[in-house]
Structures are given as C-alpha cells and as structure tokens.
Amino acid sequence: MNEEIRKLYRTAYGLRKDAVDMVYHARTGHAAPCLSEADILTALYFHVMNLDPANPHWADRDRFVLSKGHASPLYYAVLARRGYFPPEDLMEYRGLNTKLQGHPDMKKCPGVDFTTGSLGNGLAGALGMALIGKKDKKDYRVFAVCGDGELDEGIIWEAATYAGNEHLGRLIVFVDNNGLQSGGAVEKIQDLGDIAARFEACKWHAQTIDGHDMEAILDAVAEAEKVTDKPSVIVAKTIKGKGVSFMEGQYLWHMKAPNDEQYAIACEELERKVKEYE
Amino acid sequence: MESTRTGFGHALLEIAQEREDILVTSADTYRSFALGEFVERFPDRYFEFGIAEQCMITASAGMASEGYTVFSVGYSPFLSMRAVEQIRTFCAYTNQNVKIVAGLGGLSGDTDGVTHQGTEDISMIRAIPNMMLVSPADSVAARAMTKMIADIRTPVYLRLGRGATPIIYDEDQTFELGKALTARDYGTDAAILATGYCVGEAMKAADALKEQGVGVRVLDFHTIKPFDTEAALKACADCGNIVVVEDGSIYGGLAGAVAETFVENGAAPKKFKRLGLTTFGTTGTVPQLAEFFGLDRKALEKTVKDMIG
Ligand SMILES: Cc1ncc(C[n+]2csc(CCOP(=O)(O)OP(=O)(O)O)c2C)c(N)n1
Ligand SMILES: [Mg+2]
C-alpha cells in the first residue's frame, strides 16, 4: 500500500472517530450511516475533488451533495478537517441554531453546496448543478452520495432518467450500498433488485465496487471520468457501522447515540485503526 | 413523559385486535410509531412501502376504496408537504377512509432541523376540504383520539410529536372531536388558545399566573378542523385578551383559524397576540426551541402580563 492510500485510510478512521464523538456529545444522531460512507467522502475530499476551502463558493470548484443528509456528522468532520471551519466547532452539532444543523444546510454551513435531509431530493439538486455545468460549458464535476434505502423515492428515478438523457458525463454518484435502512434490510423492505442495472436502464455508466477499498474507490472515479457521454453511478458495497464492532450491520444503530461504555469501546476501536495506518 | 406516537401505537394495537379492517401503511417509519407488536401480530395487515411517501398515500387511498380503514404513518413534513397532492386529491377529494398519522409535527423534529420539522402542517392541511385535523397535546389525548378517529369513515390528519413530552391529562380525561377542551379555567383576565405541545406550556403559565393573582383560561384545540367556533368566541367574549400559541406557522395555523373566526363573527378582542413561527425553524431540543421562538411558559406569562398590564 502506498503512503497516499495509507494516509487516506488513516484520515477516514480519524473522521469516523470525529463523527462518533459528535453523536455521543449530541446524545442523538446517525452514527452508523456515517461509518459506511466514510471511505467514499474521504477519497473525494482528500484526494479527488478540486476545492478551495478558503473560498467555499469558488465558481470552478467541484460540487458535492450528500443526498443521504442524515449522515451529516462525518460530512461536517470532513469539512472541518479540510479547513472550512475550525474542528473545535464540531461539538456544536445539533446545538441550538448552530451552523451544524441536524441535516446539512447550505445557507448555514461553509462548504455545504446543497441543503439535504429530505431523502431523494439531493440527487435532483446535483442534477441541476450538472445541467448548469453543461449549459455554461464549465469543467466542474458534480459528486453525490445516495443511500440505498433512499433509492425507494420516486424522485431518484425521475432525476436519473433526465441525467441519462442529457449525457451528463460530469455527474458521478455513489450509492452507499450498506444493505440497511431505518427499519431493517433494504432487501426486505423493498428489494431494489440490481441497482447498477437500474441505472444502466436510465443510460448511466455503472460500476460496482467494495466501498471500503480506497484504491477501488479512486480507480472507479478515474474510470467514471473516462466516460464523458454518460453520468456514472458507483455502487459501493459497504457495511453500515463500519469500524465499530457493535454497530456493524446493525440497523438499530441507524439513529442512536452510544452510552458511555459503548462510546469508550468505539473510541478504542477507531483509534486503534488510525494507529494501524500510521 | 411519553411520546404522543407511543399513545397512538398502543391505541392502534388495541383497535386492531377487535377490527380486521384496520391496516397500517408505512414509509420505512413503523419503528417510530410503537407499532412493533402490530407488525408482529398482524403481518398481513402491515404494508411497508419503503421511503416512498407519495406512493404510500395514494396506495392507501386505493386500499381504503376497497373498504378498509388505513392508518398511514410517516413524518409530518414528508406527508403534509411532499405528499400533499396525494392527500388532497386522492384522500380528501375522494373522501377516503385514510388516517394520515404524522409524527414530527410542528417543531418536534427538534435537533434534526428544518427538513424534519412540520411547521407548516396545520396551514397546509387546514386548507383541504373534507380533512379533519387532530392535534393531541399529550400521549393520553393521542391514545383517546386515535380510537375516536378510527370510528369515523372520513380522512383525518393526526398530528403527532416525536420525543417524550409531559403527560398533562389524567388517564380518564374525556375528549370530544371538534370541541376544544378547557384545560384551565382560573378566571377571565385572559385566554390562551393552544394546540399540541404548547398546551402543556400554556397550562404551566396559567398555574404560575394564578399564583400572581391573574386568572387565565386555557383552551386545548385538539381538533383544529372542524374548528370549535363557539369556544373561541366565548373566550373572546369572556376574557377579551386572547393569546394563541402553536409550535408552527401562525400563517394559516391555529392563529389563522382563530383570527378568521373573530373577524367573521364581529368578535373584537381587547388585545390579540399570536405566538408561533413567522420564519423557518432551526436545530435545537424542543424546550430550547420553545424558548428560542417565544412559545414557552415564560413567554406566555410575559405576554399575558403585558396585555393586562
Ligand atoms: C423523505 C424522507 N423520508 C423519510 C426520512 C427519514 N429517514 C431518515 S434516514 C432513513 C433511512 C435511510 O436509509 P438509507 O438511504 O439506506 O441510508 P443509510 O443506510 O446510509 O443510513 C429514513 C427513512 C427522510 N429523512 N426523508
Ligand atoms: Mg442504507
């Protein structure tokens, strides 16, 4: 493993620790949904995306939409560690009238490109940005991360159809395919069948990868970049709660804060992982 | 302390044991409505749509058209707004027996923030013909009113909260649909007209004001539609000073209903104050938000004192 990849893993586990800290401190929030998306967001923000944290509205920056907006703690940690605001502010999460609202707010939080939390809408927001990128002949790319349960929403497929018909090659969407949603297994609640094939039917380029393999994530983005006449979906097989043993694969940790004892275990496990990648 | 959602879930389980026409539809939300036991015991009467509120509501109307009583559970902003056309045209216009059960009504979506707060729900639903709008103040009321709405065959919006909130009524309290409940009657210096969570704050304010020699009537508008015109007009005639308090928009909300009623009936309050939202909400706990937006006991006390001052 090269040093860059090692560093990305280290960063991802550090961010997971931040997210767990925030949920523990707020006594509520979505811990497990953060842990599955951690490697994807880390790869994007610490390797892939063209950004200027000192200038969050820079016109040529790459855009990002966290369509599964409930997984905001990790996103906020990413933005803080990337320099959009001081990491000390992270403990404001869910505090009264804070910039770190329960769900990402583009008017309150520096670095957030689009307000989300009402599932399904984020992808359509990203579609709008990508349509403007095409119309105005801009080079920026638009990245989005959707939940797999989120794909139940009709608006997802309305947006996917339009994006495919418009050949939006600069739109790259990850599905955080952790197999769980709020009330249990996605397969049991509404089986979505072959997610990649569904997007392909909407004229997208589709790849399926291990969403916790940093090299695979980077390779998939590089591959998606080569496809200029179609939007890309990267179905990332992930584990909800990844990195904290008692949260892994447990839907009951969808929205729940760890108690003192659980928090201690989570910190210990995540810190050990950070060390492992030093 | 108990969530109104728990009161609802328990009542529905009781009703479902006696009536086979009771169905539940869910948008990945049954877990938040204390319906675990319902799902276990009546798996063939539970329909899980996934995160697809619009589809759930119109399909519920389809089920109701087959003669069933459908309780459709979800979150207030995603039902009263995202699925409002489905509610209006396919449940209300067609007068189907669908009960829209909306958790996270008003500010109760608390630290989740604006996306999860149904702060316009009363305004949205009030505007729709045929809809009854029920907004219980605590878990006891939620339980009682769930049973009552199960017995009528028309569409109802049941506005519930999220977290545990104080129990303000005795177990044997009775409720009548369409009739405001006099929760406090300490005098005629002022009347506070409230709904949902704010009723408890109004009762606390009335208790505190009583100690200070100020007599306040508190009316719980647990049914916002049909609106109890008589109780509102009587409060105006008896007390003169009127405060309306709600944890959502005052535009078209309970305050709107009260103001319309007064003007239309030529009732002129001495003073009239609307406490509620004129902006979007924000992230915070329910007590924090009640204080932030001036809807809590203290704000009510001050408002009444300033009025009679
Ligand atoms: C429109 C809408 N309906 C319901 C919710 C409530 N909700 C929040 S997260 C969630 C489950 C999401 O599952 P998934 O998309 O698989 O995300 P992940 O597993 O990554 O947490 C639900 C139902 C919501 N936020 N928005
Ligand atoms: Mg999922």
pLDDT in tens, B140-169: 999 999 999 999 999 999 999 999 999 999
Model confidence at B105: pLDDT above 90 = yes
Architecture of domain B4-159: 3-Layer(aba) Sandwich (3.40)
Instruction: Please state which CATH number belongs to domain B181-308.
Output: 3.40.50.920
Instruction: Give the span between the Cα atoms of A114 and A104, in whole angstroms.
Output: 8
Interface confidence (ipTM) of the complex: 0.94
Following CA atoms A262, A263, A265, A268 in sequence, which dihedral angle do they give, to the nearest 10 degrees? 180
Instruction: Give the span between the Cα atoms of A108 and B118, in whole angstroms.
Output: 20
Model confidence at B304: pLDDT above 90 = yes
Closest ligand 1 atom number to CA of residue A186: 16
Q: What is the pLDDT of residues A151-182, one digit of tens each?
A: 999 999 999 999 999 999 999 999 999 999 99
pLDDT at A1: 86
Mean pLDDT of the B245-258 span:
98
pLDDT category, B122, cuts 50, 70, 90? very high
Contact yes or no for A26 and B114 at CB 8 A: no
Residue with tokens 């798996």: B43
**Phi and psi angles of residue B28, each rounded to the nearest 5 degrees, phi first:** 55, 35
Model confidence at B90: pLDDT above 90 = yes
Q: Which residues of chain A have pLDDT under 70?
A: none
Residue with tokens 């209300």: B92
- A150–chain B nearest CA distance, Å: 6
Q: SS3 for B285?
A: coil
Contact yes or no for A102 and B54 at CB 8 A: no
Q: What tokens appear for A178 in the block?
A: 């952790």
Bridge partners (DSSP) listed for residue B46: B24
Q: Which pTM value belongs to this model?
A: 0.96
- H helix or E strand, kind and range, residue B305: helix B297-308
Q: Residue A183: list chain B partners with CB under 8 A.
A: 26, 28-31, 48
Mutate to test the pocket of ligand 1, among A28, A116, A150, A247 (most ligand atoms within 8 A of CB): A150
Instruction: Give the span between the Cα atoms of B212 and A9, in whole angstroms.
Output: 63
Whether A29 lines ligand 1, by a CB cut-off of 6 Å, is no
Q: What is the pLDDT of residues B270-303, one digit of tens each?
A: 999 999 999 999 999 999 999 999 999 999 999 9
Nearest CA in chain A to B75: A118
Average the pLDDT over each of B29-33, B120-124, B185-189 and give the range with the smallest value: B29-33
Nearest CA in chain B to A189: B50
Q: Residue A105: list chain B partners with CB under 8 A.
A: 113-114
Nearest CA in chain B to A73: B112
Q: Where are the domains of chain A?
A: 3-276
Whether A240 lines ligand 1, by a CB cut-off of 6 Å, is yes
Asked if the A3-276 domain carries CATH number 3.30.300.30, the reply is no
Model confidence at B309: pLDDT above 90 = no
Q: Does A185 touch chain B (CB under 8 A)?
A: no
Give the closest ligand to the alpha carbon of residue A182. Answer: 1
Instruction: Give the span between the Cα atoms of A161 and B122, in whole angstroms.
Output: 35
A34 Cα–ligand 2 center, Å: 11
User: Is the separation of the CB atoms in B47 and B26 below 8 Å?
Assistant: yes
- B49–chain A nearest CA distance, Å: 7
Binding-face residues of A in 246-265 toward B, CB within 8 A: none
Residue with tokens 């994530």: A217
Q: What are the distances in angstroms from CA B18 to CA A215, B26, B42, B96, B174?
A: 58, 21, 12, 21, 21
Closest residue by CA, ligand 1 atom 19: A181
Q: Does A86 touch chain B (CB under 8 A)?
A: no
Q: Residue B49: list chain A partners with CB under 8 A.
A: 152, 190
Contact yes or no for A119 and B51 at CB 8 A: yes
